[in-house]
Structure 1
Amino acid sequence: MPHSPISSATCATRFVLVGTSHPGNVGAAARAMKVMGFADLVLVQPRFANVLSMEETVAMASGAADVLTRARIVDSVPEALEGISHVCATAMTPRDFGPPTRAPRPHFPELVAAGHSVAFVFGSERYGLSNDDVYRAHTCLSIPTAPGYGSLNLAQAVQVVAYEWRQALGSFDVEERTKASQWADAVAVQGALKHWEEVLVQVGFLDPAAPKKLMPRLQQLLNRQTLTTEEIHILRGIARAVQRR
């Protein structure tokens, strides 16, 4: 099983969605949070009062129903930020006045080192965050995007921020799916080469009287690939099929 980093900051991380219009985005945001190990979701005046239980929301959450169950709906951004010591607002472009604009990757390690409880605040799909909500923030997060087009779907933005924050806190281990026993040993590779040598002679591709360096080159080709036992079986199966012809 992957290792789960243990950090006090993980329990002090909140995602706040302000004025969300589409139920699917709420569900997708919950899913984005859960896969990165976060569960504290707060909605501020969503379009639908019952959004957390709507069919589209639950469907898009896809296994993150527990995040929806624990989520809260509040009337104001200040209420959503209770208990938070550092607020990160998200905006597509920097503003003339307000908190400093930072990219997530260089900024997040600083927050972890300071031990802040952090809230990431996302605006509505159509209008983003109001100036007043941005002014409440300590930092304005700007996700680096291609010049000329910086439009991210709400749930996509939540996923990017959740991923970068998880990396700063300590990422999950990647589960190794290939076991050492699956790698082909040298004897198996040599057996496949010998089999192919026989076939190449039979089809006239290899002249045993003048083999040149064909087989050593094939040896080097196979060595570069670090073959598995299954791949050796496939190569020998092809050789047998050619011999039957």
Structure 2
Amino acid sequence: MNPQNQTSADANGAPAAASATQAGSDLDPPSGAPCQGVSAAAPQAAADAALMAPAAFAAVRFVLVETSHPGNVGAVARAMKTMGFGAVPGSLVLVSPREPAVREHPDAIAMASGADDVLAGAVIVDNIEAALAGTAYAVALTARQREFGPPRLLPRDAVAQAGARIAALQATPQGAQAAGAHIAFVFGNERFGLPNEVVDRCSAVTHIPANPAYTSLNLAQAVQLVAYEMRLALLEVRATPLAEIGYAGEPATAEQIEAMFGHLQSGLEAIGFLDPASPKKLMPRLRRLLARSGLEREEVNILRGIAKHMLAATQGQGARAPSKQEK
């Protein structure tokens, strides 16, 4: 891979363990060799451990979309573990990695450098919908400016919002079992970043404000920075009622929101407001609008009720019947 082909600081670069032609840094280890690094242990570690709530750290999910290089996956597992993430299986989710057996790949194991448990616990899924199942808040890492999409936040603001949601949801009677009790950070392919259809399914967008003259970051470096900020946010977070972060009721999950958008699009097509042959930017605009609101489950139900009546009102007028899911 030519260094010029690396995308910006949204999570890029192959590890040196992959090949000599792939961009890395002077700190990358020799090919196939795990980094020895500097231990993160410090006198503060004991105090940190006393403050940490394991359930809060377990609620954070790192999603890698179509990762090309197995070594990057291993390095991400290591980055997660050094910041206290990955203790439960499924904390690392891989969407259609190029190497299906990436968890057993020698480069991945070498770059994990002791974080083999995080690597072994990674879950492989086929699409972003499966990767975000059970989440109520997802942050896409991308430096690319897009005409539409979720609200753009600074990394520290994004992790602060994520931490507040974790604290609020885990303070409910259901605790870690509450619907949408997890949050996710989503990172793209080393060369191409994240496609619009993945970004659109996230709640917010952020990017790492690197040196404008050289913005390229290795994927694991980007994950390390986000994991560090998330760790700090969780160490400082306090139990917060949902009302204090803008929710009057239970937040909607990613699955509920996606089902609502599908239902709403069908309703808009049925009444002729949306032309499926020329949809233009209506649905992306609606996604952006509703992403700013922090949808609750009851609000999703209201919007689906509107869509249901749109479909019902057009029956017998040449419009298609609602699907079983939409009824």
Instruction: Please classify the TM superposition score into its range, dividing by the shorter chain length.
Output: 0.5 to 0.7
State the shift of 1:60 in Å: 0.2
CA distance, structure 2, for counterparts of residue 170 and residue 22 of structure 1: 32
Give the one of 65, 69, 72 matched to 2:120: 69
Taking only the aligned residue pairs, the percentage that are identical comes to 51
Partner of 1:224: none
Post-superposition CA distance 1:155-192 (Å, at most 9, x none):
11111111111011117xxxxxxxxxxxxxxxxxxxxx
Partner of 1:130: 195
1:32 aligns with 2:79: yes
* TM-score of the aligned structures, taking structure 1 as reference length: 0.67
Report if the CA contact (8 A) 1:94-1:101 is conserved: no
The count of aligned residue pairs is: 171
1:99 aligns with 2:150: yes
Partner of 2:212: 147
Report if the CA contact (8 A) 1:94-1:142 is conserved: no
Report if the CA contact (8 A) 2:158-2:204 is conserved: no
Aligned residue identity for 1:113: A
CA distance, structure 1, for counterparts of residue 150 and residue 135 of structure 2: 16
1:6 aligns with 2:53: yes
Q: After TM superposition, list the pairs within 5 Å mapping 1:177-196 onto structure 2.
A: none
Aligned residue identity for 2:185: F
CA distance, structure 2, for counterparts of residue 107 and residue 27 of structure 1: 25
SS class of match (2:135): coil
Q: After TM superposition, list the pairs within 5 Å mapping 1:10-89 onto structure 2.
A: 10-39=57-86, 40-89=91-140
CA distance, structure 2, for counterparts of residue 36 and residue 83 of structure 1: 22
State the shift of 1:131 in Å: 0.5
State the shift of 1:27 in Å: 0.4
Report if the CA contact (8 A) 1:92-1:150 is conserved: no
State the shift of 1:22 in Å: 0.5
Q: After TM superposition, list the pairs within 5 Å mapping 1:93-242 onto structure 2.
A: 93-115=144-166, 117-170=182-235
Post-superposition CA distance 1:48-95 (Å, at most 9, x none):
111111101000000000001111111111001111110101102332
State the shift of 1:7 in Å: 5.0
Aligned residue identity for 2:101: N
Aligned residue identity for 1:74: V
Unaligned 5+ runs, structure 1: 172-245
CA distance, structure 1, for counterparts of residue 220 and residue 184 of structure 2: 16
Identify which range, 55-64 or 101-110, moves more after superposition: 101-110
State the shift of 1:19 in Å: 0.4
CA distance, structure 2, for counterparts of residue 11 and residue 33 of structure 1: 11
Unaligned 5+ runs, structure 2: 1-42, 167-180, 237-327
CA distance, structure 2, for counterparts of residue 111 and residue 70 of structure 1: 23
CA distance, structure 2, for counterparts of residue 107 and residue 130 of structure 1: 20
SS class of match (2:189): coil
* TM-score of the aligned structures, taking structure 2 as reference length: 0.50
Report if the CA contact (8 A) 1:92-1:151 is conserved: no
RMSD in angstroms over aligned alpha carbons? 1.5
SS class of match (1:121): strand
Report if the CA contact (8 A) 2:139-2:158 is conserved: no
Identify which range, 100-109 or 55-64, moves more after superposition: 100-109
CA distance, structure 2, for counterparts of residue 147 and residue 10 of structure 1: 32
Deviating above 4 A after TM superposition, structure 1's stretches of 4 or more consecutive aligned residues are none
CA distance, structure 2, for counterparts of residue 151 and residue 96 of structure 1: 22
Report if the CA contact (8 A) 1:102-1:139 is conserved: yes
State the shift of 1:18 in Å: 0.6
Identify which range, 113-122 or 128-137, moves more after superposition: 113-122
